[in-house]
Amino acid sequence: MATELQLVGAGLAAIGTGAAAIGVGIIFGNFVNGALRNPSAAASQFTNAIIGAALAEGLGIFAFLIAILLYLK
């Protein structure tokens, strides 16, 4: 019974990797939308978009790590 619940927990933790991909898509989609509306401000906002994407990917990697640890435990 515990092994099955470990696998369920690992699967639920792995959902975070997909959520990170969705988050990165939203970040860059909104950046492109803002850059098209105001091209002069696009250069100053690109760094913020990269930092946001890096944080989202970091959370995705953390979720993947937790899933792997739950699976191997």
pLDDT number for residue 61 = 93
**Residue 13 tokens, joined:** 């933790």
pTM equals: 0.79
- Read off the pLDDT of residues 14-52 as tens digits, 9 standing for 90 and up: 898 889 999 999 999 999 999 999 999 999 999 999 999
Token representation of residue 65: 């790590």
DSSP 10-63: HHHHHHHHHHHHHHHHHHHHHHHHHHHH-GGGHHHHHHHHHHHHHHHHHHHHHH
The C-alpha atoms of residue 25 and residue 58 are separated, in whole angstroms, by 14
CATH level 3 topology of 4-72: F1FO ATP Synthase (1.20.20)
Domain boundaries of the chain, sorted by first residue: 4-72
Q: Distance between CA 63 and CA 42 in Å, rounded?
A: 31
pLDDT band at 70 (very low <50, low <70, confident <90, very high): confident
| pLDDT on residue 24 | 94
